[in-house]
Amino acid sequence: MAAASLEDTCLKNVAWTLCAVALLCLTGFPAGVATGSGRTVYKWVDAQGVTHYGDRIPPEYAAQEQHLINSQGVEINRLDAQKSAEQLAAEDQKRLDAEQSQSRDRNLLSTYASVQEIERLRDQRVTLVTDQTKVTSSFLEALNGKLNKLRINSMHFKPYNSDPHAPAMPDQLAEDLVRVDNDIRTQEQNLREKRSEETTMRKQFESDIARFKELKGIH
């Protein structure tokens, strides 16, 4: 019986070995690559799209997706392809945008109890910017009036007066012309910024109100 038992064990080992070899052939392994007990191989694809198997990944393909397969032809691990700097930057930006969006939602819910509160704050801030715009516009109008007077006055002097006996323009008048002209340019820029600020503010509050309604389920 002992001899029969030994014979059965040998037959079973031969059967398992044949099954393992058959499985390896089905997975496309080259003969003899992964027949050793417990041996693992790497699987990768070259630049021409051809699949390869081996004990190690060639350096030129180290950044590509890799698959680690055991001696039974079963994938036991997979390494993702290394990402480019652009891909990593895009993922970081996506994560940052998501964090900012979540933070905004928390702030909306913790700051306001109703849509009316948001609208009241919007009206207050818009009114403040509108008043500042009006002040800037009035100041700009006054500067333009002053510049017109200076220009009229400058017509009595060279080089604006063609009379050969006209006196040279006083230094103070020349300085006033330059200064007022520069002040006008500055206030025009301020006015553009205030108007842009008001437009941006209105859009931001509209977005906040819409998101608040969404979070609260208000229709």
Q: Same domain, yes or no, for 117 and 200? A: yes
Q: 79, 96, 128 — which closes off a domain? A: 79
Q: What is the pLDDT of residues 9-48, one digit of tens each?
A: 444 443 433 443 343 444 444 433 444 445 677 777 777 8
Task: Tell me which DSSP letter residue 8 carries.
Answer: H
Instruction: Write the CATH number for 189.
Output: 1.10.287
Residue range(s) defining the domain that contains residue 71: 2-79
Q: What is the pLDDT of residues 160-180, one digit of tens each?
A: 999 999 999 999 999 999 999
In this structure, are residues 133 and 198 in contact, taking their beta carbons and an 8 Å threshold? yes
Q: Looking at the predicted structure, is the pLDDT value of residue 94 above 70?
A: yes
Q: Model pTM?
A: 0.57
Q: How many residues are given for the chain?
A: 219
Q: Same domain, yes or no, for 157 and 66? A: no
Confidence of residue 81 (pLDDT cuts 50, 70, 90): low
Beta-bridge mates of residue 66: 79
Report yes or no on 97 lying in a domain. Answer: no
CA distance 113 to 106: 12
How many domains are contained in the chain?
Answer: 2
- DSSP per residue, 86-103: HHHHHHHHHHHHHHHHHH
Report yes or no on 93 lying in a domain. Answer: no
Q: Same domain, yes or no, for 74 and 124? A: no
